[in-house]
Structure 1
Amino acid sequence: MSEPKTDSKWHSEQARAERKARLNSLKDKNGGKKPIKTSNPVVRIILVVILVVAILMTGGWYALNSGLPQQTLSALSINGEAVKVAEMNYYFYMTASNYGVDMTDPATAEATLSMPSGVEEFETYKDMLVDSAAQMVRENYMLAAEAQKAGLALDDSDLQKITDFYDTLQQQADASQLTLTNFMAQYFGKGATTESLRPAFERLLLAQKFAAQQQESFEFGDAELKAYYDEHRDEYDKVSYRAFTFTAEVAEDASDADKEKAKADARAKADAMATLVTDEASFKAQAIANAAEDQKDAYTSNDASLMADTRYYSISSLTQSAWLYDETRKAGDMTVVDDTNAASSTVLYFVSRSIDDQPRVDVRHILIMADETTATEEEIAAAKAKADDILAQYKSGAQTEDAFAELAKANSEDGNAADGGIYTDIYPGQMVDAFNNWIFDPARKTGDTDVVQTNYGFHVMYFVRPAGVEWEINVRSVLADEAYRTYLTDLKTAYPYELNDLGLRFVP
């Protein structure tokens, strides 16, 4: 039997004693724990610095990710007024989206934004988008400022658009299982919240309202409209003509010689048809005779060879459009046009050319929905009664367009209710039959009202005015756009802007 290991026992007892002594040294005279300290001042300073840096790093990380810099710093100033980074980011994200850059995919977006722009003035894609976004911000700032000078302000219906927009964002955030703040940051940039962007959205709506008012303020006389039309007739006229195409029939693996022969055969058939055409009736007869069996009915019943009231830009073949819109073209002219790409030959017969004088009208309406296919008789009757009651309210009141617009805002179930139920520049056939027939009745005059039923429900109608004819409206729109662009160019001289390099570091 071996002896006990007294040395080991002694060492273990000694270790316990030393540990006890160390613990006692950490206690104060009352048995509490002493504060840790060092007698070396350098060490104390280092510890303090480490602690401060740790706090700053934690706070800085939180600040950066909470969007605080974006809500605090300015990205640019316009005529001395600072624009926060959060607002600039909204426009940057919208601009990027318009250029096909998905900012919700950071890795892909970063790679795209760092690519060369291909535009001499801008080194990278990001540089180009920053400039584009800055121009948009500037334009809206100056238009909003001019609106305020003119005494223009947002009304309740305008502000409701922001509320509705936020409600839509909330629904999308819920569907994405994100908070609204995180959702907005993902789609509009860090710092984007309902609170931080509300001034930007109000400014945007006011700018849009003023822009629409400004564009409508430009006036052009009949002589000015006619002069512009005369210089751009091809853009506003329409032609009617007949066409029939012979396509070369050839196998995909055919030799070049066989392909050329097939093209020649198609051309020969087109030429042969042309020799037999003397007028529209004979053209239609030849089209039916040459049509494939499964297409004969289209040429017989639907008169498929007739291309009525066709605009220049609707004709796919440049060769055909050039021939049809030639100033010397007259009724009865005929030609055969080859399309080498499609390996086909087309017989063309010119019928007429005319100015597009289709009428347009402006109208307001109040929709009380009652779908003819799904609503019960009781629901249809209730909708009719409500529509009649609204019309009675109108007739017992001021009977003005503004009064009708207010009733539309309060009662209409159509998407344009907030705009007073207005539809402008409506052309024949644009609306469903009953609606269309009422507004284009030759006896219709400004201020006329009625209740009209369509498959959507009941429409309380208010005829605003004849809006003019197609070509005049289109020419006036072009001239107004040109005048507005000139107005903006001149206005920009009064609203210089300057980019802020520090703030732009927080633009993606």
Structure 2
Amino acid sequence: MSEDKGVRENKEDLVVESTDSINYIDKTNKKKKRLKKVNIKKDIVKKVISFTLVGVICLVIGFTYGKSVGRGLPATSKTYSKGKVYATVGDTSITGKQLQSMMDPYFYLQGNTKLSDEEIESYEYSMLDYMTTVEAMYKEAIANDVSITDDEVDSEYESTMSSIEYQFGMTEDEYLKEFNMTEKSLKEELKKELIAIKYLEESTEVTEEEAQNYYDKNKDEFLKVKASHILIKTTDDDGNELSDEEKEKAKLKAEEILKKAKDGEDFASLAKEYSEDSSATDGGDLGFFKSGDMVEEFEKAAFSLGNGQIYDEVVETDYGYHIIIKTDEQYSSFDDEKESLISELSYNKQNTLIDDVLEKYEVEIKE
């Protein structure tokens, strides 16, 4: 926990990265540096259609067109059997040829980085997840008579070509020739994806009334607590854990400070004198936070307190030992929560819908 950053800043340090995201990140190497945590949705590729065809096209161009200007071969590659079936969606197969065209750009974009088998497998699964999800959602959209106009497809096609020309300097004719495609075949792929996305969006809309009803029935979810703390760290400045002996000394120090606070000494003054968190300059004040914002041990203690009450024991987290006082509480208003609540409820609907559709079409990713 750096001394010049507040607990509420640089929240990305505690983001949990999914290995299913487009950029594989080895989360074992990420050090915890902040008390404040951020919840990030997992399984993005599976749960929402986030790899658009336009994005894939740009990756492919970056791969193939990049080679033509001498960027060299990637350090990592893998050859998939063209006729082998890697996944199925009902009676539709995803073959090695299709998977190869999606994986090659990823390998190329890694440049000189040699990927491990685990990293390759993780991204491979993510890509198959994407491909099968689009196929299943398209099938269900057609079954529900979802359609789009030729004008919508034409507009998306023109936008795609404009992006290609802007980013890579390739004209429409150059692109189609490079990939041995026709305007008709590309528009067919764009149409398929647009129909799938349209069905997903239209089927998972959330009204303001739905959000209001949820808020009214679950108001405790929107309780915010304000607390201050004093931190005695159990890690060094690089985030490495202290020895058992040093940790025991830290705990004893924290317990002595807790006694001072319980005996009536001013909490803010104690925080300014002893706390090893950057919030010390603010008297340990962390501001308001909701359930799910803080690490579990800290949150459990803070939410159990009454206003002005100090927690009876020092609280241990990965960051060290905390002395905690609750200073206030309030409920977020519906207007404050409306936008994020509608988004969350829609996301939950998307999860349910996609899971149901994948089950309906017996989607299977082969081992």
TM-score range, shorter chain: 0.5 to 0.7
C-alpha distance in structure 1 between counterparts of 2:317 and 2:356, whole Å:
49
Is the Cα contact below 8 Å between 1:243 and 1:348 reproduced in 2?
Answer: yes
Q: Deviations over 1:303-358 (max 9, x none)?
A: 3522222133332x4321111123xx32111025243754x432211123333226
Is the Cα contact below 8 Å between 1:74 and 1:83 reproduced in 2?
Answer: no
Is the Cα contact below 8 Å between 2:226 and 2:286 reproduced in 1?
Answer: yes
Aligned residues: 274
Distance change >3 Å, CA 155–CA 240, structure 1 → 2: farther
Is the Cα contact below 8 Å between 2:310 and 2:324 reproduced in 1?
Answer: yes
Q: Deviations over 1:17-43 (max 9, x none)?
A: xxxxxxxxxxxxxxxxxxxxxxxxxxx
- With normalisation by structure 1, the TM-score equals 0.41
Q: Which residue of 1 aligns with 2:161?
A: 166
Distance change >3 Å, CA 172–CA 224, structure 1 → 2: closer
1:324 aligns with 2:302: yes
* Alignment match of 1:238 (pick from 224, 236, 240): 224
The sequence identity of aligned pairs, in percent, is 15
Q: Which residue of 2 aligns with 1:307?
A: 286
Higher relative contact order (CA 8 A, sep 6+): 2
Distance change >3 Å, CA 136–CA 110, structure 1 → 2: farther
1:269 aligns with 2:257: yes
Distance change >3 Å, CA 257–CA 485, structure 1 → 2: closer
Q: Which residue of 2 aligns with 1:19?
A: none
Distance change >3 Å, CA 354–CA 199, structure 1 → 2: same
* Alignment match of 1:93 (pick from 98, 102, 112): 102
Is the Cα contact below 8 Å between 2:212 and 2:334 reproduced in 1?
Answer: no
Is the Cα contact below 8 Å between 2:204 and 2:350 reproduced in 1?
Answer: yes
SS at match of 1:276: coil
Is the Cα contact below 8 Å between 1:331 and 1:352 reproduced in 2?
Answer: yes
C-alpha distance in structure 1 between counterparts of 2:318 and 2:250, whole Å:
13
SS at match of 2:292: helix
Distance change >3 Å, CA 275–CA 150, structure 1 → 2: same
SS at match of 2:325: strand
Counterparts of residues 85-234 of structure 1 (less than 5 Å): 88-89=98-99, 93=102, 102=107, 112=117, 128=125, 131-146=128-143, 149-150=145-146, 152-153=148-149, 155-156=151-152, 159-174=154-169, 180=175, 195-216=184-205, 220=210, 225-227=215-217, 229=218, 233-234=220-221
SS at match of 1:353: strand
SS at match of 1:216: coil
* Alignment match of 2:314 (pick from 315, 337, 357): 337
Is the Cα contact below 8 Å between 2:102 and 2:127 reproduced in 1?
Answer: no
Is the Cα contact below 8 Å between 2:231 and 2:275 reproduced in 1?
Answer: no
Is the Cα contact below 8 Å between 1:144 and 1:203 reproduced in 2?
Answer: no
**Aligned residue type for 1:349:** I
Q: Displacement of 1:159 after TM fit?
A: 3.9
C-alpha distance in structure 2 between counterparts of 1:272 and 1:142, whole Å:
67
Distance change >3 Å, CA 165–CA 334, structure 1 → 2: same
C-alpha distance in structure 2 between counterparts of 1:496 and 1:248, whole Å:
50
C-alpha distance in structure 2 between counterparts of 1:85 and 1:211, whole Å:
25
* Divergent runs of 4+, >6 A: 73-80, 82-87, 105-111, 248-252, 496-499
C-alpha distance in structure 2 between counterparts of 1:339 and 1:241, whole Å:
16
SS at match of 1:339: strand
SS at match of 1:350: strand
C-alpha distance in structure 2 between counterparts of 1:266 and 1:243, whole Å:
11
**Aligned residue type for 1:244:** I
**Aligned residue type for 2:158:** T
SS at match of 2:333: coil
Q: Displacement of 1:289 after TM fit?
A: 4.9
Task: Tell me which structure has the larger Cα radius of gyration.
Answer: 1
**Aligned residue type for 2:316:** D
- With normalisation by structure 2, the TM-score equals 0.54
Q: Displacement of 1:202 after TM fit?
A: 2.2
C-alpha distance in structure 2 between counterparts of 1:202 and 1:89, whole Å:
20
Q: Displacement of 1:257 after TM fit?
A: 4.8
Gaps in structure 1 of 5+ consecutive residues = 1-72, 119-124, 186-190, 360-468, 502-508
